[in-house]
Structures are given as C-alpha cells and as structure tokens.
Amino acid sequence: MASPHTLREAHPTERAAGIDHYVSDADGIGGRLRESPEDFRVRELEAFEPEPLGADTGSYPELVVRVTLRDWDTNDFARRISDALGISRERVSWAGTKDKRAVTTQLFTLREVDPDDLPEIRGAEIDPLGRAGRGLSFGDLAGNAFEIRVADAGSEAPERVADVVADLRAFGGDGGETEATGPGGNGAVVGVPNYFGQQRFGSRRPVTHRVGLAVVRGDVREAVRLYAGNPAATEPDDTRAARDRVDAAFGVGDGGAGDGLGAGDDPATADGTGDGDWEACLDAIPGKLRFERSMVHRLAERDVPPDAPPDHDDWRHALEAVPSNLQRLFVNAAQSFLFNRVLSERLRRGLPFDRPVAGDVVCFADGDAPDELYAPDTDRLQRVDEDRVSVVTRHCERGRAFVTAPLVGTETDLGDGEPGEIEREVLDGAGIEPGDFALPGEFDSSGTRRAILLRSDLDVTFEGGDPRFAFALPSGSYATVLLREFTKSGPLDL
C-alpha cells in the first residue's frame, strides 16, 4: 500500500464538495477572474456536422447557427431568441450551457426557422451554418477551448505560475520533459485530478449533493429539509431566517443546521419534534426561493407531520415539486461528491493518476475527439490485473488510455486491489452501496465511470503582468479545477 503523504489543504468550501487538497504545493497567484467578459472566453469544440443551408427543410428542419455571446446566460439567450422569433422555447437546442460573465461561442439549432428570419440581439453574433435533421444534444459537444485572463495576479505571478506548471507536468505524467510549445514559452502538457468543480454542488451553498445523498440513503424527509431549510452563512439575512423557520418546523433548533458546508454527514438532522407549521414557513420564505416554496407548499397541502417516516410518500411528493432536471441533479451531484472523495483519497495515499496500479479499471481514448483534446471513451473499459500493469501503463503514457473511478450506480462494478479498497471505504463512509441507486422516477441511476486525470496542453502568456491561460478540456470537465491550482483562491473567486 502506498504511504499517505502531506498535501496542501483545499479551501473549506471545496472540502465540502469532496476536494481535499491541491496537487501543487506552490503558492498561488491570487488575482481576479472575469473582470470583464472578454477575460473569460470559451469556444465549443464541435462534434456536429450540419448539411448545407440549401438542404431540404423537410428532411432537415433544424437551422444550425453559430452564436457568439457576450455576458449572456445560455438559458436566458434561448428564451430571448425564441421570443424574438415567435417560437416555442422547446424549438431551441444547444449542446452545452455556458457561464454568463464570459464571451462564448457555441452552436444552437432552431427548428423550422429560416436564415432570413434571424433577429438582431444585443450582445449576440448569430451566423447561420447549415441545416440538420435533429436538434443538438449534450452528446454533440466534444469539449471546450478556453482563454482566461487572471487580473491583478501580482509581481510574483511569472515565477509562481512556472512553479505550478512544473508540479502539474509531473503529476500529469509529463515529468517536465516536454518541449515548451506556446508563444509565451510556457506551453506544457499538464494534469490535475478530474474533480467535479464547485459549480456542480453550489458555490455559495453547496447542498445539491447532500440532498442527493439523503435520497439515496432513503431519508427523503432529510432531503427536503436540507434543500428547503439548512441555512448557509453566505446567504442573505432573509433567506437564512426563512431556512431557520423551516428547520424549526422539522425539529432542528435555530441555526442548528450549521453553515451548509458539511461534507455529507450533517451536524444536525431533523428529529421530528418540530411544530410542522408549514403555513408559517410559507409566510417566511421569500418569493425568490421558488423551489423551496413549492416543496413546502406541498407539505402544507397534505399537512405532513414532521415525524412522518423518512421514506414516506408525502416527503417524496414534496421533493418532486422541483423540475425533473433538478431531481436528476441531486443524484448526479451525490455521485460526483463520492467520485471527488475517491480521487482525494487516492491523492492522499500517493497512488498515481497518470498510470494504473493493479486493480484499476481503465478506459481507452476517444478516437473521434478533436486533436486539441485528451478525451476518454468510458464505454470501452478494461480491468487491469498485475500482469497487465506495464502494458496498460504504456498506453496511458501515449494518451491511449485513462485510469477511471466510478460514478456509482446500480450497475457499477468496483475496482480491485487498493483502488477498489478506496472506492468501498468511500461508499461505506457515506452509508451507501451501488444497489441504493435503484430509485423511482428521475432519481434512478445505473452509474458509469469517469477518467481520474484531466490532462491538457496548457499555454500561458503574460499581458501587462497578468497571465492568460489557454487550454482545451473534454466535455464534462471544469476549467476551474485547473485554474484553482494556480490561484489557490476559494471557489467564489473563480
């Protein structure tokens, strides 16, 4: 067994999401992201080939457009363009949702729209590309290319960036031997743990995974309480007061739920001795907490006693007041948290991320991915026994294979050896086993696996002393997971 070793501790909010450490022990550059939208540029790497614009609209009813947005949330833009075209929002599709405070370039499909009807929208450049027989979906996104400037990084930024790059080259399996490739002389193949970033769980109130963990454990009452109650220190006074009132209805004392930053096992849970006055809770919950209001409204409608069994149908009825995509997100976030915990424990033990040990499960590279990406194909898996470690290591060194960890679900096969031991310890610590994901409705999940190493060609240039990072990542990976190693800042600063 590898010996645990000392690592630089992550920010408390990150630890609540299962991210315990940094790879690099070098000091961070600090600074600020998104001083202007132009400081955060994202360009989709597309895996979607449209037909020509003149293609038959009967066979190809979808108009494919490339849109560059400045300071637009993707969902808000979809509503805006559907209103401008006078069509249903359901006729607008895209492959990946992007951040608002950015300049983003991505594809949209517009069903039964003519190029001549495209509107002019402030902050948006809309260029028709062709036609398609179906709308875009998440699987059509291969990845994203980023250009990100960090403002006010300080005079020591060049040296600190170089130190972090050296650490990440070694971690990613490059060992610092690759020639520098970028115009700034800092091009390198770097690697970091392929964590799910803080956005997956909530930066100000990381709670989605805790709700999901409660659902998977069968404690749906606690899932409702965690979402509607459970105040966080970072929230405004009115929402904290409202959540305190909900906790009191469940039987948790004023402020007893802590700061909303727990790592899975809550500092306080409902004991069922609350007053169950859901109408008083509705009076306290502001309108901006619309999903919380919807949950509590269903409790009030059925006059659910706070000591009803944790898996009672009335609690599930309340939880299902939120949209189906949020219901899925609860369980997905629980899986993501457990995955992060597995990676943190592997890192703590000193096991490699760039190559397998006996007992690992690897996947092979996606041969259809754009050249810019180190992209895994988790549909092609292979278990690594002692006799094949050296062979698979060579595949990993050449970018042809990736070590994986589970996103646990009903069909998950855990690893063997020390990797499997880590996976089982994390699940045992959470009080969960794969079969627990056999759940009704949107909460069910069969699980999959995910590469544990996020590798990228990184180029760093400096503009007036501020670093600009250029790199590409496969879909489902987070730019902030790479940038956090350089800034050493909390999630709210990324």
At residue 183, the pLDDT reads 33
CA distance 174 to 183: 20
CATH 3.30.70.3160 in the chain, residue ranges: 38-143
Start-end of H helices in 303-403: 313-319, 324-349, 389-397
User: How many H-runs (helices) and E-runs (strands) does the chain carry?
Assistant: 13, 14
* H-run or E-run covering 361: strand 361-365
CA distance 151 to 123: 23
At 255 the three-state DSSP class reads coil
Q: How far apart are the first and last CA of the chain?
A: 35
CA distance 257 to 301: 25
Mean pLDDT per 10-residue interval, the chain, length 494 residues:
71 94 96 92 92 97 98 94 97 92 96 97 98 94 95 93 96 61 59 95 90 97 97 93 97 54 52 91 97 98 96 97 94 98 97 98 93 91 97 95 97 96 98 96 95 97 94 95 94 79
CB 326 within 8 A of CB 228: no
At residue 267, the pLDDT reads 55
pLDDT tens readout for residues 27-38 = 999 999 888 999
Give bridge partners of residue 80 from the DSSP assignment: none
CA distance 162 to 237: 43
CA distance 73 to 383: 41
Q: Which of 207, 263, 213, 215 is nearest to 235 (CA)?
A: 207
CA distance 336 to 406: 9
Q: What is the DSSP letter of 147?
A: E
Q: What b-and-e string marks burial along 438-474, b requiring 16 or more CB atoms within 10 Å of the CB?
A: ebeebbebeebbbbbbbbbbbbbbeeeebbbbbbbbb
For the chain, how long is the longest CA-to-CA vector?
68
One of 25, 39, 71, 99 is an active-site residue; which one? 99
Q: Which fold has domain 38-143?
A: Alpha-Beta Plaits (3.30.70)
Strands 361-365 and 376-383: antiparallel
Residue 285 burial by Cβ neighbours in a 10 Å radius (0-12, 13-18, 19+) = buried
At residue 176, the pLDDT reads 41
pLDDT tens readout for residues 106-121 = 999 999 999 999 999 9
At residue 261, the pLDDT reads 38
At residue 230, the pLDDT reads 96
Give bridge partners of residue 456 from the DSSP assignment: 190
CA distance 269 to 252: 6
Q: Which of 46, 66, 223, 76 is nearest to 141 (CA)?
A: 46
CA distance 438 to 219: 14
CB 458 within 8 A of CB 485: no
Give bridge partners of residue 454 from the DSSP assignment: 192
> What is the pTM for the complete model shown?
0.91
At residue 268, the pLDDT reads 66
* CATH architecture classification, 1-31+153-218+328-494: 2-Layer Sandwich (3.30)
Q: Which of 477, 470, 448, 467 is nearest to 33 (CA)?
A: 467
CA distance 457 to 181: 9
Query: Does the active-site annotation cover 237?
Result: no
CATH 3.30.2350.20 in the chain, residue ranges: 1-31+153-218+328-494
